[in-house]
Chains A and B, each alone.
Chain A
């Protein structure tokens, strides 16, 4: 059993890309953004109900920014800790309903304020994950003496990956690994290589949901238990992560490649100049033996 002083923080990052959700509502009217947010709120409430000291944060991530749905800046300043609530019954219910109302209001604000420019259906998760890490870092610093905090991030991803964020994403993953923060991923539509790597490196769970309408069930079954309890449960097996690199010239996945020692770009074939940093490479040439000049035979 976790001690009373151990705080369990769950940060849920929800992908609310409006273009993807709009297309999704047309494809399948049964599963819309509001259904998804309902499932997320069920998950959040369940997490907060597991223990008195559990904390929750929800971030919405879309193509132009990421926004904290809960706890919100405009709230009265009480954190989702419940440390000063004496009676468990009524206090917890108020806390949960307050959280739900806040989330609903904030998401409504965001979706009405978004100006959709272009039709990018990608998700820029790196920024939201970075904000989540900063928030976790802040809460860790604000702990009282004797309290410990264990944090994890759950990503609910809808749209496809955006390749532009590879570097930032990897930096965020390494920072999370260093701070011992798990990153779990619940993918609704298309597989995401970046999230697979994130889950593998940080030790979290990656799952692509077969049926979107049952999102709440999957969230509660797979992602609600924390890392200690997961060892005692039979959970979906880890996905096979492809760690092969793609060459910079053709973008093919290669198993053996050549790496520039200066800028670490990867090539599939040997070339005398690195195309990224334009350094000329020293090539070990075999000794060239000058052929002996033979006298041409005069035609008779």
Chain B
């Protein structure tokens, strides 16, 4: 028990990473513009897991009917999960998510690992009606997740996020053995607790290198969920490999084209709304199967199909924007205007970009770092020799 206070301190202080993190050599990278051209950028420090396979385990036991989160814990969790899924695919377009629910000492898959947000959101909306009964089973849900995750290629990051509200878990076997298996499979498990700290979760997250937090209120819950959207640093032992991908062309054919042949979209063959015949779509370069949306894994030949902007969406994780330097407005001589939005600088502090020394107001600084990820004035400085 002597080690308990120390563990509690370390846990309260933030999550610790037991995986080591390697850094890129300190060089300027020459990055080719996918449509021809050269961009020069400075490097990021840390290798990130860009292609992620995340299983989210949602506890559906009796404790989820508690009304400390309005209207009850389950509804609140499912609503936040919808927001999570949207943001997740926005920031990680080539990654996949799957959802597992656990109740009555069993675990079952709500949705399989997929890269399409719509499926998950419909399933989450339907899940609001589930009856919360029984006890959750950590062992069964982790086991279920491992069945699929262990087949995933080594260069992807394998993660499990557990939202646990119950203080108990009912496991058919020794969970510490399972933790050893998780560690050997390099799966990172993180837990968000809705009630209180549970020792087995602390051990689980510490051993696998994940994070463990307990929520204070609903807004804290949202913050904690959003923390898991950023790609985690890749452990040095994760493999790096070249992934074969296809970049399909989008064909838009009209009925008047003589060569236009209608075809079934492969992605809708499984859906109950019936396959739709369409004239255009994305053609897989290997087998010419038609798909209506990207990114998708071709069902016929197994090739991952993406478009260049999908990869571009992840670039801002690899090349993050530097933080701006805060300084008092009085230091500025002459006109006091924000160079991005042209507003007068009324606040006491202003922010300046360390590379181009342009001045921005508080609102623009927030907007630039959260949404834009690029300084509006730096681009002009790059061309000056």
Q: Which residues of A contact B (CB under 8 A)?
A: 63-66, 68, 71, 73, 117, 120, 124, 126-127, 130-131, 133-135, 137-138, 141, 161-168, 170-175, 178-179, 193-194, 197, 201, 237-238, 240-246, 248, 251, 253-267, 270-271, 274, 276-283
Contact = CB atoms under 8 A, between A and B. Distances in A.
B379 A134 contact: no
B50 A163 contact: no
10 contacts: A138-B341, A166-B34, A240-B252, A244-B249, A245-B247, A254-B247, A256-B303, A258-B242, A259-B244, A261-B156
Interface string B196-213: 000000000000000000
B121 interface: no
- The residue in B38, B363, B374 that gathers the most chain A C-beta atoms within 10 A of its C-beta is B374
A178 B370 CA distance: 12
Nearest to B316: A171
A282 B337 CA distance: 53
Contacts of B243: 258-261
B313 A262 contact: no
Given A251-B32, A270-B242, A141 B363 contact: yes
Contacts of B38: 163-164
A126 B372 CA distance: 11
Given A130-B374, A243-B309, A262-B50, A257 B247 contact: yes
Interface string B318-347: 110000000000000001011111110000
Interface in B23-81: 24-25, 29-41, 47, 50-51
Contacts of B379: 124, 126-127, 164-165, 168
A259 B240 contact: no
A53 to B, nearest CB: 20
Contacts of A141: 363
Interface residues of B, number: 75
Contacts of A251: 32, 36
A71 B252 CA distance: 40
B313 A174 contact: yes
A121 B356 CA distance: 23
A69 B312 CA distance: 32
B104 interface: no
A255 B316 contact: no
Interface in B285-325: 285-286, 303, 307-309, 311-316, 318-319
B354 interface: no
Interface in B149-181: 154-156
Contacts of B32: 246, 248, 251, 265
A183 to B, nearest CB: 14
A73 B359 CA distance: 15
Contacts of A261: 50-51, 155-156, 240-243
Given A68-B342, A258-B244, A166 B33 contact: yes
A167 B383 contact: no
A164 B38 CA distance: 6
Given A172-B372, A254-B247, A260-B243, 16 more contacts: A127-B376, A131-B341, A137-B364, A137-B367, A138-B342, A164-B38, A164-B379, A171-B374, A243-B308, A245-B35, A256-B247, A258-B243, A259-B311, A261-B50, A265-B32, A281-B240
A131 B340 contact: yes
B105 interface: no
B247 A244 contact: yes
Interface of B: 24-25, 29-41, 47, 50-51, 90, 154-156, 234, 239-250, 252, 285-286, 303, 307-309, 311-316, 318-319, 335, 337-343, 363-364, 367-368, 371-380, 382-384
A256 B33 contact: no
A201 B249 contact: no
B371 A179 contact: yes
A178 B367 contact: no
Q: Is the interface of A mostly helix, strand, loop or mixed?
A: mixed
Contacts of A244: 247, 249, 308
B216 to A, nearest CB: 28
A280 to B, nearest CB: 8
Contacts of B364: 134, 137-138
A126 B374 contact: yes
Contacts, number: 222
Contacts of A135: 340-342
Contact of B315 (A137, A240, A264): A264
B239 A134 contact: no
Contacts of B40: 164
Contacts of A134: 338, 340-341, 364, 367-368, 372, 376
Nearest to B48: A262
Given A127-B380, A135-B342, A261-B156, A256 B285 contact: yes
Contact of A167 (B154, B252, B307, B315): B315
A178 B371 contact: yes
A256 to B, nearest CB: 5
Nearest to A120: B383
A238 B249 CA distance: 15
B39 A164 contact: yes
Contact of A163 (B36, B252, B367, B378): B36
B240 A65 contact: no
Q: Which of A64, A254, A255 has the most chain B CB atoms inside 10 A of its CB?
A: A255
A295 to B, nearest CB: 42
Contact of B245 (A170, A237, A258): A258
B19 to A, nearest CB: 15
Please provide the 8 A-B residue pairs with the shortest distance between their CB atoms, ordered closest to farther. Answer: A163-B37, A130-B376, A134-B340, A255-B285, A166-B33, A138-B341, A258-B242, A243-B307
- Residue in A141, A253, A259 with the greatest tally of chain B CB atoms within 10 Å: A259
Contacts of B341: 131, 134-135, 137-138
A248 B50 CA distance: 19
Given A164-B37, A246-B32, A282 B239 contact: yes
Contacts of B367: 133-134, 137
A248 B319 CA distance: 18
A117 to B, nearest CB: 8
A167 B41 contact: yes
